[in-house]
Every structure is written in C-alpha cells, then in structure tokens.
C-alpha cells in the first residue's frame, strides 16, 4: 500500500493503494467516477478510455503508479461548466448510442482526436476509433457524431 497523487479532471487526489492497481479501478472505486467503464481489463475494447496527457488510452491496464505525473481527463470531467461538451452534445444530437456502454470511451477518443486534428476526414475518424469496440453496431452514427462535433467546435472557435 502506498499513497499516490493523481491529477484527474483538474483536481488533485490522493489515494492509498497497491501501486499496481489499475487506474480504472482507482477512478471508479476511490474517486467514484462512473464514466470510465470496465469492459475487458486488457486494453482491448476501449470502454475504459480516458485522456492521459492529451492522448486517449485505456485505464484498465495502466497501473496507478505510472499515472501519477499525468493530467487525466475522464468523461465525467468534460461538462465541468454544466453545459455538455461539444462532443457529448454531438453524440446526443446524432443519437449515437444504443446501449451506451461504449459511449464514454468513444467520447474520450473523439475529444483527443479533435484536439490534435480539428478537421479529420471520415477515414481519420475511423482510424482514431479503431481501438474502441461497439457491440451494438452504432459505428455509423458515432462517425457522424464525431464529424458533427468537429464542425461544431470549428464554428465555436470562429465566433
């Protein structure tokens, strides 16, 4: 058991746990964030994706000790001001979910993509989401939502 300091959604948290504890478990159990979901525990499905220093990645296979120096964002932290983030709003507008279990991870991959490439092509969107699985087959709507979010963010930036 060791004390770890984490920067999550703009705040610093300290948690005492085994250094090998997966970040996902710390986020869900200690920080009580429901957004990152457990799907596979092996970095294979994307349900647990969070943004770590600007990159979307799995939190289920990232030991907490390795996440200490990083800035971490989860889907729970996107609507900090109360209003939905443009990407969340676009997912809602496109009704881009069926069960919605993959949605948190999809949104985090999208936020990271658009920060790096504000006007992706459809192919670039698909490539960026390659690590996110959706069993319900909502892919087409998700791609549409990402492209709509890019347009929305561009319009916001132009204002």
Partner 1 sequence: MSAPTFPAGASTETQPAAGLPPTLAANPRLARWLGFSADGVVTIHSGKVEYGQGVWTALAQVAAEELGVSLSRVVVAPVITSDSPDEGITSGSRSVEESGASLRQACAQARSLMLGVAAVTLGTTAERLVVEDGQLTGPDGTAVTYWSVLAAHPGLLERDAGEPVPEKAMGSWSVAGRSAARLDLPDKVSGRPRFIHDLRLPGMLYGRIVRPPAPAARLAGLADPCLPPGVILVRDGSFLGVLAGADREAVQSAALVAKAARWEVSETLPDCDDLASFLRNAPAETVVVGEHRDERAAASAATTLAAEFTRPYIAHASMAPSCALARWDSGSLMIWSHSQGPFALRDAIAAGLGLDPAQVVVQHAEGAGAYGHNGADDVALDAALLARAVPGRPVRVLWAREDEMAWAPYGSAMLARLEAGLDAAGTIVSWRQDVWSGGYIGRPGTGGQPRLLALSHIEGGQPIPAALDGPPTGAIGSTRNAVPGYDIPDLLITRHRLLTMPIRTSSQRSLGAFLNVFAIESFMDELAAAAGRDPVDFRLAHLRDPRARRVIEQAAGLADWGARPRSESIGYGIGFARYKGVAGYCAAVAEVEAEYDIRVRRLWLAVDVGRVINPDGVINQVEGGAIQSASWALKERVRFDRTAITSVNWDTYPILRFSEVPQVQVRIVASPERESGAGEVAQGPVAGAIGNAVAAAVGVRVRDLPLTAEQVGRAIEAG
**Smallest gap from residue 66 Cβ to partner 1 (A):** 16
- From 51-59, 111-119, 137-145, 148-156, span contacting partner 1 (CB under 8 A): 137-145
Which residues lie near ligand FES (CB under 6 A)? 38-41, 43-48, 58, 60, 97-102, 134-136, 138
72 binds partner 1 (CB under 8 A): no
CB 143 within 8 A of CB 132: no
Residue 99: exposed, middle, or buried by beta-carbon count in 10 A (0-12, 13-18, 19+)? exposed
Minimum CB–partner distance for residue 156 and ligand FES (Å): 26
Interface residue with partner 1, options 66, 118, 127, 151 (CB under 8 A):
127
- What are the backbone angles phi and psi of residue 55, rounded to the nearest 5°? -110, 135
Which listed option, ligand FES, partner 1, none, makes contact with residue 126 (CB within 5 to 8 Å by class)? partner 1
110 binding partner (options ligand FES, partner 1, none; Cβ < 5 to 8 Å by kind): none
User: Shortest gap between Cβ of 97 and partner 1 (angstroms)?
Assistant: 6
CB atoms within 10 A of CB 31: 18
- Distance of alpha carbon 110 from alpha carbon 68, whole angstroms: 24
5, containing H or E segment: strand 2-8
């Amino acid at each position: 058991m060791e004390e770890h300091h984490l920067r999550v959604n703009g705040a610093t948290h300290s948690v005492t746990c085994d250094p090998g504890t997966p970040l996902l478990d710390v986020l869900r159990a200690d920080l009580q964030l429901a957004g990152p979901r457990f799907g596979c525990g092996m970095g294979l499905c994307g349900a647990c994706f969070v943004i770590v220093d600007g990159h979307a990645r799995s939190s289920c296979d990232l030991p907490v000790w390795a996440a200490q120096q990083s800035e971490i964002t989860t889907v729970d932290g996107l609507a900090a001001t109360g209003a939905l983030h443009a990407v969340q709003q676009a997912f809602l507008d496109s009704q881009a979910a069926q069960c919605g279990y993959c949605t948190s991870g999809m949104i985090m991959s999208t936020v990271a993509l658009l920060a790096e490439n504000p006007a992706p092509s459809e192919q670039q969107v698909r490539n960026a989401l390659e690590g996110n699985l959706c069993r319900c087959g909502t892919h087409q709507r998700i791609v549409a939502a990402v492209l709509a979010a890019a347009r929305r963010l561009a319009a916001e930036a132009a204002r």
